[in-house]
Amino acid sequence: MNGQVEQRIDLAVRRLVGVDAEVGAEAADARLVGLAVLVAAGDVVDVAVAVVVQAVALLLDELIQSGKAFADAHHLAGLSYELMEQPDRALEAFDQALVLNPRYVEAHIHRGIVLAGLGRDEEAAEAFGAARESGGSERPGGIPAHHAAKLANQHAELGDAYAEAGALSAAIDQYRRALELGPAFHDLRYRLARFLLDAGRTLEAREELETILSARPGSAEARSALGLACYLAGDAASARGHWQRILEERPDDARARAYLSMLERASGA
DSSP 181-227: H-TT-HHHHHHHHHHHHHTT-HHHHHHHHHHHHHH-TT-HHHHHHHH
Range name among 18-32, 51-65, 138-152, 205-219 with the lowest pLDDT average: 18-32
Q: Provide the CA 237 distance to its chain's centre, in angstroms.
A: 29
User: What's the pLDDT score for residue 27?
Assistant: 42
Question: Which CATH number is associated with domain 3-136?
Answer: 1.25.40.10
CA-based angle 262:267:268, to the nearest 5? Answer: 100
Pairing assessment for the beta strands 143-144 and 138-139 based on DSSP bridges: antiparallel
Question: What are the pLDDT digits (tens) for 188-238?
Answer: 999 999 999 999 999 999 999 999 999 888 889 999 999 999 999 999 999
Question: What are the pLDDT digits (tens) for 89-111?
Answer: 889 888 888 887 787 778 888 89
In the chain, where the domains are located: 3-136, 206-269
CATH architecture label of 206-269:
Alpha Horseshoe (1.25)
Average pLDDT over residues 20-49: 45
Would the CATH topology of 3-136 be identical to that of 206-269? Answer: yes
pTM of the complete model: 0.54
Percent of the chain with pLDDT over 90: 32
Average pLDDT over residues 2-16: 46
* pLDDT greater than 60 at residue 138: no
Q: What are phi and psi of 162, to 5 degrees?
A: -65, -40
Number of CB atoms found within 10 A of residue 263's CB: 17
Dihedral over Cα of 135, 136, 139, 141: its sign: positive
